[in-house]
Amino acid sequence: MPANNPKKLRKLYWVETEKCNLGCRYCYYNTALKQKTKTIEIPIEKKLELFNSIPEYFDEIVFTGGEALTDPDIFTLIAAAKKQGLKVDLLSNGVLLTTENCQKIISLGVDCVSISLDSLDEQTNDYLRGKTTSVIEGINRLLKMKSPTMAIEIMMTVTRKNISSIREMVDFCYDNNLNLWLDPAEINPNISRVKPLDLTLMSEDEKQVMTDGFSYWIDKLKKPSLSLYVQACLDLITGKKVTNINCDMGTTHFVLNPKGELNPCFSREDINYGNVFEVGLSAVMNNSLIIEKQPQLQKAVCLSLGCVCMTMVNENDPYQCK
């Protein structure tokens, strides 16, 4: 079964909680691009039981949310994942990178912490996300305390409002030995309050600013292979068809939502392989629907801006710890 293909890294994105301490303007949960699940607390014991079978199907877990650090149980889950020899990534908004939490993250051996930050300019980042000062303080704290083996990455969600912040962010990451990933935002065209952020509405001058920023990123990182990703982003923004992307979501990578339902992808909640807390992970992973849906998913028929598969073009997966 492809999910057991030993050559490919098998990854579980676990939306561990839907709760969040920010309300980012473009967030797909705030703009109805994705379904916001109603909180139903799953007991930690039930979550921990999953680790008996997770290593059979996955090599790496990306804990995300909502904001995973708002849930104190996150550290128990990370410890359980590490005990099973899994790689662990934590995707966070950075607000709760307190000294105590940084210490826990480091001592538990988290392999990679990805922190979302859209601009070093406080006004711009506060407009898009909020609590910029705490986040930058948290990043600096983690940088000072971290072990040499732990990777830190900045996830910059690119909208029309922060294209001119890209260069400064590239320099900041380069100088501090941080990985940087640029992720164009998908904007819901039906929500008028997010229209000013929509990259598809950029003027020619703005497109040039964005293209220059992306080129600067590729050049400074010395990663010409990223040009495929950048071209795919620009094509999607200008409404061109993108055909050179293969998608691993639903084949080797899956998403577990807060209710415990396994989906192929963050954006494909219409495909539900079953609830791991009700029938167990093995039963869900052996659902024949997985095989049935794979050919279509692999062709990336549902590709759009903000697609997680775009981050894996040419194996430049930012969630893959170096």
Q: Which residue has the tokens 């830190």?
A: 152
The site for ligand SAM, by CB under 6 A, has a size of 18
- 185 contact, one of ligand SAM, ligand SF4, none, CB 5-8 Å limit per kind: ligand SAM
- Rounded to 5 degrees, φ, ψ at 256 are -105, 120
Residues that bind ligand SF4 (CB under 6 A): 20, 22-24, 27, 29-30, 65-67, 93, 129, 247, 249, 264-265, 267-268, 297, 300, 302-303, 307-309
Among 80, 173, 185, 285, binds ligand SAM (CB under 6 A): 185
Closest by CA to 305, choosing from 32, 28, 110, is: 28
- 265 contact, one of ligand SF4, ligand SAM, none, CB 5-8 Å limit per kind: ligand SF4
Distance CA 254, CA 11 (A): 7
Verify binding: residue 93, ligand SAM, rule CB under 6 A. yes
Distance CA 277, CA 257 (A): 11
Dihedral of CA 217/223/224/225: which sign? negative
Q: Cβ closer to ligand SF4: 281 or 294?
A: 294
Task: Note whether 116 and 155 are within 8 A (CB).
Answer: yes
In sequence order, the 6+-apart residues with CB closer than 8 A to the CB of 84 are: 51, 54, 55
Q: Cβ closer to ligand SF4: 213 or 264?
A: 264
CB of 30 to ligand SAM, least distance (A): 8
**Residues making contact with ligand SAM (CB under 6 A):** 20, 26-28, 33, 64-65, 67, 91-93, 116, 155, 157, 183, 185-186, 306
